[in-house]
Amino acid sequence: MPENNLLETALVRLDEAAKHINVDADVIEKLKFARETTKVRLMIRMDDGSRKSFLAWRCRYDDTRGPTKGGIRFHPEATADEVEMLAFWMTFKCAVMNLPYGGGKGAVQVDPRTLSKAELERLSRSYIQAFSRIIGPDRDIPAPDVYTNAMIMGWMADEYAQIVGQASPAVITGKPIALGGSLGRGDATARGGYYLVRHLAEDLGLSQTMRVAIQGFGNAGQHIARLLAADGHKIVAVSDSEGAVKADVGLHIDMLLDAKAQGKSVASTVGQGGHESLRQDDLVGVECDLLVPAALENMIHDGNAASVKAKLVLELANGPVTPEADTILAGKGATVLPDILANAGGVTVSYFEWVQNRQGYYWPVEEIHERLRTIMEREGRAIWRVSRGKDVTMRTAAYVHALGRLAEAIEAHGTQSFFTS
């Protein structure tokens, strides 16, 4: 898909939701454009003494409901349009979960795997130096994303503290525990999706033992595999960026996790424990009950959606199903639990971290799990009711649910009602 169409594609969801809810035209107009997107050049000293430049962005899409919130990704194909699209999604994701945030996102155009640890640290600190006047605990709160992690967030939080002259842990979430990170953050995205599926299982007519295929075996993919397998479900296929494996009787999850822990692909387990090789592109068409796209955007599209056999798709990645694929899946009777609901466990526990940082009081992991479960079930149930009541897909219902909250906040900020009679 051409990169200049990314945000336009995301806005299709907004237009569809607007058909099912009575909102002022001013609300839609405001949400069609980012509030601000800043582009900078980061120049860092490499280990060999040379200097190298990297493009970087930070987008604050909408701050009507509170400070903007969203991750920072390090990726060689990052673009400004992608950043704005992801910030748009974050705006709706936070509204879906009723978090007091707007949406934001950041990126550096770099392949971090080509950098030494020292170069990666210099780049991370350089990002905060460039955007220190844009971010802040009450203005814009970054977090980890693709190819960034707790270690990088720790460097960034430390750099911000040095710039402002005081500890400010609430400026960034997803930090190491020792620097004010929250328990339960590591598996939050997957755990939120797991709670959602479990809560709606009866409504969706799911069997007690599901066959599950997982596209993408990074953080979210590994955790959802572990959680579902512990419940007795069979993980029959998984893929990562280097390969894919399948086993009709169920894959050995511990074997896959060990391979990833050693820096290997899941494909390295082929021939062991009944694991068979599978073409990566064929994973979406595997015979299964639940398909979990947990990789990147646009992985299920009009070219492969017809091959999907799962009756339920759980979007742990952001934007893995294109609008065209949505139509095809709906026609096949498949239910898609959309990203702005399904993977919102991550931003929800990030919110918990921000709250704990501001309180200076930290919760046990059991409390975090219980609070997350309560919110996922509450919002999942509300969106299910909208979907049934308006006879729309779960995705459209989620956008309607979020748009209602955004519209209420936008209208409360404005004076439009005083000029119309």
Cα Rg of the chain (Å, integer): 21
- Under 8 Å CB-to-CB from 292, ≥6 apart: which residues? 193, 212, 213, 214, 215, 221, 224, 313, 314, 316
Instruction: Specify the residue for token string 């799911």.
Output: 206
- Work out whether strand 51-62 and strand 36-45 pair parallel, antiparallel, or are unpaired: antiparallel
Chain centroid to Cα 341, Å, comes to 10
CB-based contact 106:59 (threshold 8 Å)? yes
Q: Is 412 exposed, middle or buried (0-12, 13-18, 19+ CB in 10 A)?
A: exposed
Catalytic site includes residue 105: yes
Instruction: Taking each helix axis as running N to C, give the angle between helix 345-359 and helix 188-204, from 0 to 180 degrees, rounded to the nearest 10.
Output: 130
User: What are the residues facing 337 on neighbouring strands?
Assistant: 314
Among the options 105, 175, 246, 311, which is catalytic?
Answer: 105
DSSP 415: -
What is the sign of the dihedral through the CA atoms of 400, 142, 185 and 366? negative
Residues labelled as active-site residues: 105
